[in-house]
Chain A
Amino acid sequence: MKNNLFIGYGNPDRGDDGASYHLFIALLNDFGKKDVDLFSSDTTSLNANTDILFNFQLLPEFSEMIGQYQQVVFIDSHTGDIKENISFKSIEPKYHYSPFTHHFSPSSCLAVTQSLTGRYPKAWLLSIRGFQFGFNRELSDQTRQFVNQSLDIIRSEFFE
Chain B
Amino acid sequence: MATQKITIEPVTRIEGHAKVTIHMTKEGKVEHAYFHVNEFRGFEKFCEGRMIFEMPSITPRICGICPVSHHLAAAKTGDIVMGSPPPRTATLLRELMHMGQIIQSHGMHFFELAGPDLILGFDADPATRNVVGLIQADPKLALKAVALRKFGQEIIHKVGDRRIHPNFAIPGGVNKALKKEDRESILKDFDEMIAITQTGLTIFKGWAEKNKEDIDKFAVFPTGYMGLVTPENDLELYHGNIRMVDKKGEELENFDANDYLDYIAEHVEDWSYLKFPYYKKMGYPAGVYRVGPLGRLNTITKIDTPLANEEFKTYRAINNGKPIENTLHYHYARLIEILFAIERVKVLLDDPDILGKDILNTKQNFKGEGVGVIEAPRGTLFHHYKVKENGQIEAVNLIVSTGHNNWAMSKAVDSVAKTYITGPEIREGLLNRVEAAIRAHDPCLSCSTHAVGQMPMIVDLFDHNGKLTQEVKRDF
Contact = CB atoms under 8 A, between A and B. Distances in A.
Contact of A78 (B8, B67, B135, B453): B453
Nearest to B43: A135
Given A37-B162, A56-B164, A101 B447 contact: yes
B287 interface: no
B2 interface: no
Interface string A69-91: 00000001111011000010000
Given A82-B453, A95-B132, A111-B132, A100 B435 contact: yes
B135 A39 contact: no
Contacts of A61: 146, 149-150, 153
A102 B131 CA distance: 12
Interface in A82-113: 82, 87, 95-103, 105, 108, 111-112
A116 B126 contact: no
Contacts of A10: 449-451
A10 B451 CA distance: 7
Interface residues of A, number: 48
Residue with the greatest number of chain B CB neighbours at <10 A, chosen from A17, A58, A99: A99
A49 B47 CA distance: 42
B136 A115 contact: yes
B476 interface: yes
Nearest to B126: A97
A64 B144 CA distance: 12
Interface residues of B, number: 60
Contacts of A76: 450-452
Given A10-B450, A14-B448, A101 B443 contact: yes
Contacts of A140: none
Given A40-B162, A56-B164, A77-B451, A97 B135 contact: no
A113 B13 CA distance: 28
A9 B65 CA distance: 13
Contact of A40 (B161, B453, B457, B474): B161
Contacts of B457: 97, 99
Nearest to B443: A100
B271 interface: no
B449 A103 contact: no
A140 B359 CA distance: 40
B303 interface: no
A111 B139 CA distance: 13
Interface in B129-186: 129-133, 135-136, 139, 142-143, 145-146, 149-150, 153, 161-165
B163 A39 contact: yes
Contacts of A64: 146
Contact of B454 (A9, A79, A125): A79
Contacts of A9: 450
A55 B109 CA distance: 19
A116 B449 contact: no
A103 B448 CA distance: 11
Interface string B100-123: 000001001100110000000000
Given A57-B447, A115-B139, A130-B451, A40 B61 contact: no
Given A55-B164, A102-B109, 10 more contacts: A13-B61, A60-B145, A77-B449, A78-B451, A81-B454, A97-B129, A98-B113, A100-B443, A108-B132, A134-B42
15 contacts: A11-B64, A14-B448, A40-B161, A40-B163, A55-B164, A57-B65, A95-B130, A99-B10, A100-B443, A101-B445, A101-B455, A108-B130, A111-B132, A116-B146, A130-B451
The 7 A-B pairs of least Cβ separation, nearest first, read A56-B64, A115-B135, A13-B61, A78-B452, A17-B449, A99-B435, A95-B132
Interface of A: 9-11, 13-14, 17, 37, 39-42, 55-61, 63-64, 76-79, 81-82, 87, 95-103, 105, 108, 111-112, 115-116, 125, 127, 130, 133-135
